[in-house]
Every structure is written in structure tokens, then in C-alpha cells.
Amino acid sequence: MYIEKISLLNFKNYSELELSFSKEINLLAGLNGSGKTNLLDAIYCLCLTKSFLGMNDQQMIHTNQGYFSALGWFKENSKEYKLQYDFDGKKKNFTVDKKPYHKLSEHIGKFPAIVLTPHDTDLIRNGSEDRRRFFDSLFSQADPIYLEALIRYTHFIKQRNALLKLAAEGRFIDRILMDAYDHNLMQSGTIIAQKRASYLQRLLPIFQEYYSLLSPEYENTHIEYETKVLDPNFEKIYQDSYSKDLILQRTNKGVHKDDFKFIINSEAIKQYGSQGQQKTFVIALKLAQYELLKACTGHAPILLMDDIFDKLDDIRIEKLIALVQKHVHGQLFISDARPDRSSIFFKSNSKDFRMFIIDQGSISLSNLPSSTS
Ligand SMILES: Nc1ncnc2c1ncn2[C@@H]1O[C@H](COP(=O)(O)OP(=O)(O)O)[C@@H](O)[C@H]1O
Ligand SMILES: [Mg+2]
């Protein structure tokens, strides 16, 4: 699956843009602030219905305009799909071949995309919420049942917390309603925990292989899934927490409290990993995500590598390029403020590539000779 063409109107710093891509390698070159990340985000928005930068629809409208529109022509096995994402200042409109979804979440996993950014190491440094969000996004793209359970779980946590709040205000608690929430949380929470555990088992060997290919030295890596939900006594743990839940007015036990522990040489990488090790860790994780998504969805995801070479040393860059060349067979986008460095990608490479020069929201195709010619 790949994106053939994009058309943007009033999307972030692009007032108007039309661009055709290579189905293999696309290099976006341009100074800082020129719009490389915004273009990658537009592609991500079409694949996943939202920005990877966490921007809302209003923020994505070009300054002083009232709407934006992003259109993408995607192709798979000679079948074409026209994806459209519009926002008119009030309403978001997302369609595939002009047809809207009943639920937007149905789009997730059909056009998989993965983004690698220099901020990925936040995943190590930040709190457990970020790691859950990362794995939730991965498993949701891989498995619609996971996504459905997650939506249900999030809904019932909100409902239950609202009920706890009412109780704390001294209002009557509807026990039947509370039991129904508990039942739903137990059911969807168990699905989530079981799938988190089993997908992690599939991800782990790929991740470990990639880490060892990227790292200059031998290091032992591991990811541990921490949950109480798979404890045989979880139902009791959950019920025992009820009085605490009432005091704090929120649910304290469940998969929304899970964490994933990132380990290197038997220690937490957060405390003991060097910057280089941390970067390698998240890059290996993202590329393992690529493999898992490809296997689960049957589509090679679009890989968006945003400024990833920045702050990587030359040895790691070389190893990363070798790994990507060997394992990534789908469409690839790379943004780089210093294209001289990334041009290494298409020297000695028989793949089709295009290089785009971005300058303040306008783009031209570079006439660099293609390696295939
Ligand atoms: N809604 C918007 N309207 C106009 N410009 C925007 C909007 N959102 C972001 N930008 C501009 O886009 C630029 C950043 O683009 P970005 O893609 O991050 O650049 P790069 O990745 O090439 O460094 C900034 O100058 C920012 O002000
Ligand atoms: Mg950028």
C-alpha cells in the first residue's frame, strides 16, 4: 500500500499543494520550519485520521483561513482509494471514495502508517500513559478487536468515575449500574491485557533482533508487561479497591494502570541507558512495530522517518540505513534538513526515489539523477 498523490488546501503552512510521490523512497529536504514535518503529518492524518503531533483540527487550518482539506490517492494491488479529510471550522469530514464511515475507528488499520521522530525517546522518559498510548495505537492498528475493547473500556471507565464522583457528593449510588460498569470493565479489560501480553511476545524477538543490528555493541534488551489484570485474584483486587476508589473518585485498578518496562542489561533503560542506547531502543521498537503491523494487517505500512538522523552518530546512521534497506519494502518518507547525509540512501541503492526541496510551504522536485538511470 502506498500513497501516489496528495493534494492539500490550507493545511498548516501549505495554502495549496499537489504532489506525486515515489512508491519507494521519498526524501524531503528543506531548512528547519519549511514544512517537512507538516507534510509527513498530512500523510499520517489520512492514514490514521489524526495528527501525530497531537494537533487538533482547528490548529491545522492555515493561518487566517476557515477550513482545510487533505486528499490522498492511495494504491494497493492496482486498486485505488481516494481518502479525504476535511475540516470546515466546525465539522470534521473523513471519507474513503466519498463514503463516510459509520465510526471513524473503522479506518484504523486499513492504511497503516508508522512515524519515527527524534521525540520518540520521550516514550522512555515520560510516564506510563505515553507507553500505553504507544502500544494501544500499535495493537489497535493490528487488531480491530483490541480497538473495540479499548473504546469500550475507556467509555466505561469514564462512566464509572462519574458515578464515583456522584457518590462522593453524597448522592445515591445505583449499585446495579455500578455492577454493570464493573462487569464491562472486567470483560474488556481482560481482552486488552491478554492481547497486550500476546502481541508483546510476538513483538519482542523482532525488536531484540533489530536492536542488536542497530547497536554497535552487544546488549541485552527486554520489554516487560506489568499488569495486575492477569493475576488470578484480580477480581478481588479490583473489588478491594472500591473504598479507595470512592475516596479518590476514580478507578484505581485496571489496564489503564498498566505499564511496559523497558530494560537494558537487566536495568531500567530510563535510569541506566545512555542517550545512544535510548535512541536505538525506540528506533528498534518502531521498526519492530512496522514488522508486526505488516504481518497483522497484510499491508506494508507507510514509514515516515522525520528528522531521525539528527543526533544519531555516523555508525548508528549507517546501521539504520542498512536495516531499513533490508527490512522495509514498503513506501518510505524521510525528512532531513541535511540531505547530503541521507543521499547515502539512494547511492548504491536500486530503489526508485524522489527528492523534494521544500521551501516555506512550496515544494519542487529535485532533479537529482535517479540511481536506477
Ligand atoms: N496552522 C498553521 N498555519 C500556518 N503555518 C503553520 C500552521 N501550523 C504550523 N505552521 C508552521 O509550519 C512551520 C513548521 O513546519 P514543520 O513542518 O514543522 O517544519 P520542518 O519539519 O521542515 O522543520 C512553522 O513555521 C509553523 O509556524
Ligand atoms: Mg520537522
pLDDT tens for each residue of 50-97:
999 999 999 999 999 999 999 999 999 889 999 999 999 999 999 999
- Find the 289 Cα to ligand 1 centroid distance in Å: 28
Position in ligand 1 atom list of the atom nearest CA 63: 3
Instruction: Over range 199-223, report the average pLDDT.
Output: 94
Q: What is the pLDDT of residue 321?
A: 86
- Tell me whether strands 113-116 and 99-100 are parallel, antiparallel or unpaired: unpaired
Q: Which fold has domain 126-298?
A: Glutathione S-transferase Yfyf (Class Pi); Chain A, domain 2 (1.20.1050)
Position in ligand 1 atom list of the atom nearest CA 38: 17
Q: pLDDT tens digits for 94-138? A: 999 999 999 999 999 899 999 999 899 999 999 999 999 999 999
> How far is C-alpha 69 from the geometric centre of its chain's CA atoms?
22
At 276, the pLDDT band (50, 70, 90 cuts) reads confident
> What is the average pLDDT value for the chain, to the nearest integer?
92
Q: Which of 38, 67, 359 to mutate to test the pocket of ligand 1 (most atoms within 8 A of CB)?
A: 38
Ligand 1, atom 12, residue with closest C-alpha: 13
Q: What is the pLDDT of residue 346?
A: 64
Ligand nearest to the CA of 306: 2
Residue 326 has pLDDT above 90, yes or no: no
> How far is C-alpha 239 from the geometric centre of its chain's CA atoms?
34
- Find the 32 Cα to ligand 1 centroid distance in Å: 9
Strands (E) in the chain, as ranges, are 2-11, 14-20, 25-30, 68-76, 79-87, 92-96, 99-100, 113-116, 221-226, 259-264, 267-268, 302-306, 332-336, 353-359, 362-365
CA dist 112 and 295 (Å) reads: 11
At 213, the pLDDT band (50, 70, 90 cuts) reads very high
- The three three-digit cell numbers of residue 4, written as one number: 501516489
Q: Which residues line ligand 1 (CB under 6 A)?
A: 12-13, 30, 32-38, 59-63
Ligand 1, atom 2, residue with closest C-alpha: 12
Ligand nearest to the CA of 356: 1
CATH superfamily of 1-112+299-373: P-loop containing nucleotide triphosphate hydrolases (3.40.50.300)
Range of lowest pLDDT (38-42, 70-74, 206-210, 366-370): 366-370
- Find the 259 Cα to ligand 2 centroid distance in Å: 29
Ligand 1, atom 17, residue with closest C-alpha: 35
% of residues, the chain, pLDDT over 70:
97
Spatial strand order in the sheet of 25-30: 113-116, 302-306, 332-336, 25-30, 353-359, 362-365
% of residues, the chain, pLDDT over 90:
77
What element of type H or E holds 131?
helix 128-142
- Find the 213 Cα to ligand 2 centroid distance in Å: 26
Between 275 and 258, the more confident residue is 258
- Find the 337 Cα to ligand 2 centroid distance in Å: 8
Q: Could you check whether 1-112+299-373 and 126-298 share the same CATH topology?
A: no
Between 271 and 348, the more confident residue is 271
- Find the 62 Cα to ligand 1 centroid distance in Å: 9
Instruction: Over range 279-308, report the average pLDDT.
Output: 94
Q: Which of 9, 13, 58, 336 to mutate to test the pocket of ligand 1 (most atoms within 8 A of CB)?
A: 13
Position in ligand 1 atom list of the atom nearest CA 307: 21
Q: Where are the domains of the chain?
A: 1-112+299-373, 126-298
Burial class of residue 202 (count of CB atoms within 10 Å of its CB; 0-12, 13-18, 19+)? middle
- Find the 307 Cα to ligand 2 centroid distance in Å: 6
Q: What is the pLDDT of residue 342?
A: 74
Q: Could you tell me which residues come within 8 angstroms of residue 280 by beta carbon, excluding any fewer than 6 positions away?
A: 211, 214, 215, 316
Q: What is the pLDDT of residue 348?
A: 60
